[in-house]
Amino acid sequence: MLLQDSLGGNSKTLMICCLSPHVSNYSESVNALRYANRARNIKNKPVVNRDPMAVLVEV
């Protein structure tokens, strides 16, 4: 996938798929659903990035 490295990894990502009920937009709606289906297979493991210097400031 082209965007897998950009969307995966240490982040939280929300994707919204917009569809049209009009018959003239059928193929675009199907393509959007296919893309959304592929994008949901990207697995992320988000963690909080801690700054070691921030701990020293808090103490």
User: Which one-letter DSSP state was computed for residue 25?
Assistant: G
List pLDDT tens digits, range 29-39: 999 999 889 88
Tell me the CATH number at 14: 1.20.58.1980
Give me the domain span that covers residue 16. 4-58
13: pLDDT strictly greater than 70 = yes
Total domains, the chain:
1
DSSP state of 8: S
53-to-46, 48, 57 alpha-carbon distances in Å: 21, 15, 6
d(CA 15, CA 36): 8
Span 9-37, mean pLDDT? 89
